[in-house]
Amino acid sequence: MFSKGVPKDSTIFIDSTWKTSQSLTSGGTQADEVKCEDSECQVIEQTEASTQTEEEEAKAHAEPQYDEASLLAFLQSVAPKVIRELERQNRSQAFTGYALRAEEEEGVGARLLYTLRCKQTDPELVVTGLDWSTTGAVIGVAYGSNQHENWCDHTGTLAVWNVNRSDFDANQPERVIEASSCVLCLAFHPTNPAVFAAGTFNGEVLVYDLSRTEEVTPMATGDCGGGAVTTVTWAELGDYLSSSFSLVATTTTGYVLVWTLSVAKQQLTLKAGYLLRGEDGGRAMRTPVSDSAGLGITAASFNSEDQLLFVLGSEGGGVFICNSASQTPTGIELSGMELRSCVSSSLAPHAGKVVAAEFSSYHRNAVLTAGSDDHIRLYTLLQANKPVTTLHSQDGVTCARWCPSRPVVLAAGQVTGQVALLDLISKSGQPVLTIPVAERPAPITTLEFNRKNVQVLSVGDQLGRIQVWQLPISAVSPLPNEAAILCSLMNVQTE
């Protein structure tokens, strides 16, 4: 090898490096040891066992020996006596009113579910009316005063609770509506749970629709000519009127006014009107003004079988059977419509104001009445001059209602604050059930069964309270022969 600038005779030696020793380092990895486990299972041991019975030998039975002629003679001699005894037991009413009760119900009475109070009402106002909606979930309550010297200057109240709501508050109604005067009665529509009607002391009929959540004004109104509206009833009058359900209002002036409701037009239309005249009540009930002046109506009910038939109770104690097909004029007009006479017959009167008059839903001829003379009566239309049965209360009777599920049982409220379920055919005269009196007793003003759940009974009093009770099933369960007994009582022939 040569390099520039180096003499030719100079020699340079470079040591070889290919045999230089290499430095080596060893490395390695090791995986974790794999662990193995063995397990075993063993099936359950089974044991078999058997038994063997010995074959039973059939026993030989001798053919029975009897005298057929003697047996026939015996049966012929005793059969008439046995048949007569069975027929007598079938006619007997020895066990009427008796029913077996479940052991768990023994000693269990009515249970207070809740007490409703509306703080927005005047403390002087009492519960004047209440009703349950057709679904049984909503209760409407009317508040007013039962003390009026002349014109009403109170502010009436309507309160509504939905007891099935998750936020239900017994002290706070879901809806509170004020009226220009005391509200005296209330009734929910039979098929539309959102619609109800109310009547006021100043003679107005107010119809509300609860589905209009923001509305506190009535959907429709009607004028009853100035007399206080004492009852409002939804009646199915069939082809007599254009509407399947009509609203019937009665007044202290003796008016019976029939309205049809148009929800679409939000309008009440007067379709028919009747007058309960003084001359209809006989000489004892005639008003000092004239025979044609109206008698104050306190109670009304329509027959469930005969749609044209209804009963009226009056302030003077008269009970009148009426027919809406009557065409007899009275010479008195309201809103351009002539009122007609409607009385076809009358029942034996009470000695005081009639507080209840109601047709039975179980029999066409059965009528329940109650009066301030402390008498509760059961009438049949076939015997108008004499009640079929009469119950006398030691305390004043303020209201009464048929039990929806028992044909011969009713609920009655008293001035002592007591509410009792009474059996009209009970020989002992003892109540079927007595509801406990409140801590602060007050006269009962109204009561109403929940027809969707007949175990629920609502009771209003003069302190503005509404107590809702759950009745024991034994108290509202009908006995097997109750309906037959009512039919036999009603089929009395006039003497």
Q: What tens digit of pLDDT does each residue of 117-162 get? A: 998 888 889 999 999 999 999 999 999 987 777 778 888 999 999 9
Per cent of the chain over pLDDT 90 is 53
Q: Is the pLDDT of residue 258 over 70?
A: yes
pLDDT band at 313 (very low <50, low <70, confident <90, very high): very high
Q: How far apart are CA 111 and CA 105, in angstroms?
A: 12
Domain assignment present for residue 102? The answer is no
Both tokens of 467, joined, read 């107590």
Any residues with CB less than 8 A from the CB of 318 and at least 6 apart, and which? 280, 281, 282, 285, 295, 346, 349, 354
pLDDT in tens, 74-129: 888 888 989 888 887 776 655 555 555 443 444 458 999 999 999 888 888 999 99
Annotate the chain with three-state secondary structure: CCCCCCCCCCCCCCCCCCCCCCCCCCCCCCCCCCCCCCCCCCCCCCCCCCCCCCCCCCCCCCCCCCCHHHHHHHHHHHHHHHHHHHHHHHHCCCCCCCCCCCHHHCCCCCEEEEEECCCCCCCCCEEEEEEECCCCCEEEEEEECCCCCCCCCCCEEEEEEECCCCCCECCECCEEEEECCCEEEEEECCCCCCEEEEEECCCEEEEEECCCCCCCCCCEEEECCCCCEEEEEEECCHHHCCCCCEEEEEECCCEEEEEEEECCCCEEEEEEEEECEHHHHCHHHCCCCCCCCECCEEEEEECCCCCCEEEEEECCCCEEEEECCCCCEEEEEECCEEEEECEEEEECCCCCCEEEEEECCCCCCEEEEEECCCEEEEEECCECCCCCEEEECCCCEEEEEECCCCCCEEEEEECCCCEEEEECCCCCCCCCEEECCCCCCCCEEEEEECCCCCCEEEEEECCCCEEEEECCHHHHCCCCCHHHHHHHHHCCCCC
> What is the strand order of the sheet 195-200 is part of?
183-188, 195-200, 204-209, 220-223
Residue written as token pair 């209360």 = 393
Closest-CA residue to 294 (of 250, 351, 259): 250
| Cβ neighbours around 86 below 10 Å, total | 9
Report yes or no: 228 and 181 within 8 Å, Cβ to Cβ: no
pTM for this structure? 0.75
- Residue 308 belongs to what domain range? 117-490
Q: How far apart are CA 205 and CA 128, in angstroms?
A: 15
Residue written as token pair 């005249």 = 277
Domain assignment present for residue 175? The answer is yes
Both tokens of 121, joined, read 């009402």
* The one-letter amino acid at 480: P
Domain assignment present for residue 80? The answer is no
Q: What is the pLDDT of residue 105?
A: 43
Domain assignment present for residue 426? The answer is yes
| Cβ neighbours around 453 below 10 Å, total | 14
pLDDT in tens, 484-495: 889 988 886 444
pLDDT band at 289 (very low <50, low <70, confident <90, very high): very low
Number of domains into which the chain is organized: 1
Q: What is the pLDDT of residue 282?
A: 65
Domain assignment present for residue 314? The answer is yes
Q: What is the pLDDT of residue 7?
A: 52
When mean pLDDT is compared across 30-34, 257-261, 266-270, 407-411, the lowest value belongs to 30-34
pLDDT band at 15 (very low <50, low <70, confident <90, very high): low
Both tokens of 365, joined, read 């001829």
Higher per-residue confidence, 12 vs 284: 12
Mean residue pLDDT of the chain comes to: 85
Higher per-residue confidence, 35 vs 320: 320
pLDDT band at 283 (very low <50, low <70, confident <90, very high): low
pLDDT in tens, 441-484: 999 999 999 999 999 999 999 999 999 999 999 999 988 888 88
Closest-CA residue to 141 (of 112, 114, 175): 175
Q: What is the mean pLDDT of residues 215-239?
A: 87
Residue 270 φ then ψ, to 5°: -75, 120
Q: What is the mean pLDDT of residues 60-85?
A: 83
Q: What is the pLDDT of residue 17?
A: 60
Closest-CA residue to 435 (of 456, 451, 452, 450): 456
* The one-letter amino acid at 78: V
pLDDT band at 201 (very low <50, low <70, confident <90, very high): very high
Q: How far apart are CA 467 and CA 486, in angstroms?
A: 31
Domain assignment present for residue 109? The answer is no
Q: What is the pLDDT of residue 350?
A: 95
Domain assignment present for residue 147? The answer is yes
Q: What is the pLDDT of residue 20?
A: 57
pLDDT band at 259 (very low <50, low <70, confident <90, very high): very high
Domain assignment present for residue 286? The answer is yes
Q: What is the pLDDT of residue 263?
A: 86
Q: What is the pLDDT of residue 311?
A: 96
Q: What is the pLDDT of residue 19?
A: 56
Q: Is the pLDDT of residue 8 over 70?
A: no
pLDDT band at 16 (very low <50, low <70, confident <90, very high): low
Q: What is the pLDDT of residue 152?
A: 83
CA torsion 276→278→284→287, rounded to 10°? Answer: 130
List the CATH number of the domain containing 432.
2.130.10.10
Q: Is the pLDDT of residue 421 over 90?
A: yes
Any residues with CB less than 8 A from the CB of 76 and at least 6 apart, and which? none
